[in-house]
Amino acid sequence: RQKLQEYNTIEDAVELLKISQNIIVLTGAGISTSLGIPDFRSKDTGLYSRLAHLGLSDPQEVFDIHVFRDDPSIFFSVAKDILPTEKKFSPTHAFICLLQDKGKLLTNYTQNIDNIEANAGLLPEKIVQCHGSFATATCIKCRLKVSGDELFGTIKEGKIPECVSCKQQLSARPQGMKRKRSSNGVPKSRKRSNKDSSDSEDYEIPSPGVMKPDITFFGEDLPDEFSRRLIRHDCDLADLVIVIGTSLKVAPVAEVPGILPRNVPQIYISRTPVSHVGFDIDMLGDCDVVVSELCRRAGWDLKHEMIPAD
Ligand code: OAD
């Protein structure tokens, strides 16, 4: 499919905002940095640049499901600092909300796990949390699901949250079958030879499952809703795509601009340019400043105080 028209300038972007009725907004960590929440890959300020002390071969391993299963303490040593806490939002979140209020927002596909879209007033049916969130958590053993904030206290204390259901089941077992803890406090399942027991066979010392926040780790599938909604619904309806504050380094979200029909204009707003995706209009800079200027030129009232620069 061919583009019907060329779009290049900020005036074109303003015009597209005005005429479009089904806008996809694809967001990343850059829309929350003005709130003091680090992104992942910015050179000196991103979360991954701060994890050298963990001694990982790649800092992304913090969010790797195999590493988590092996040693959940690595993730929880970082999780305590990235929990969603304050009910605040940035001008860019307010901008996405404004698109919703004007009836122009088709979907906000967010890679963010901070849940801040809801603070700004985005309706749940307008959000796809591509990488999940801290809103719920699931036991990796028995799959019990709980509300995420039930675990926040434990996580903030730097402890590993354990499954209450598994614990109950274990306490109902005979004494000799109770779990043992490893020295670092991480519950481990392991084999033990019980020579003194009347039953001379080895048996498994069970342990409760660890509660894993429902964030999509590397090695896990994205929520079904991501591809279902994108392919079966939004692809046919979208008339504009605005990508904001993401390096587009993580698939499959990074593939969204390429999946959409080529006649859908694409705008990129971020501090850092990307070379692996060709957008119609690149607006490089602070996203809060860029969206505020777009609204000003469109004659729209963006109701959010600008956050003063540090
Ligand atoms: P990145 O850290 O990779 O990219 C953030 C982008 O936003 C960078 O290009 C920054 O230059 C830009 N940026 C930062 N602050 C900005 C600002 N105030 N205004 C405009 N641009 C700004 O973060 P993501 O692309 O979101 O996965 O990362 C994608 C995924 O990788 C995350 O969801 C996370 C991570 O591994 C999981 O947690 C599972």
184-224 pLDDT, tens digit per residue, is: 444 444 333 344 444 444 555 578 899 999 999 999 999 99
pTM for the model: 0.88
**Residue-level pLDDT, tens digit, the chain, 310 residues:** 445 678 989 999 999 999 999 999 999 999 999 999 999 999 999 999 999 888 898 999 999 999 999 999 999 999 988 888 778 899 999 999 999 999 999 999 999 998 899 889 999 999 999 999 998 999 999 999 999 989 999 999 989 999 999 988 888 766 555 444 444 444 444 333 344 444 444 555 578 899 999 999 999 999 999 999 999 999 999 999 999 999 999 999 999 999 999 999 999 999 999 999 999 999 999 999 999 999 999 999 998 765 554 4
| Surface-to-core class of residue 262, CB atoms within 10 Å of its CB (0-12 exposed, 13-18 middle, 19+ buried) | exposed
Closest CA to 82 of 48, 49, 140, 38: 38
Mean pLDDT taken over the chain: 88
Measured from the CB, is residue 292 less than 6 Å from ligand 1? no
- What are the backbone dihedrals phi and psi of residue 224, each rounded to the nearest 5 degrees, phi first? -55, -35
Dihedral sign, CA of 49, 114, 96, 111?
A: positive
Cβ–ligand 1 distance for 36 under 6 Å, the answer: no
b/e string for 31-41 if b means 16 or more Cβ within 10 A? bbbbbebbbbb
Confirm whether 66 is a catalytic residue.
Answer: no
- Cα of 109 vs centre of ligand 1, distance in Å, is 14
For residues 73 and 93, is the Cβ–Cβ distance under 8 A? Answer: no
Dihedral of CA 273/279/283/286: which sign? negative
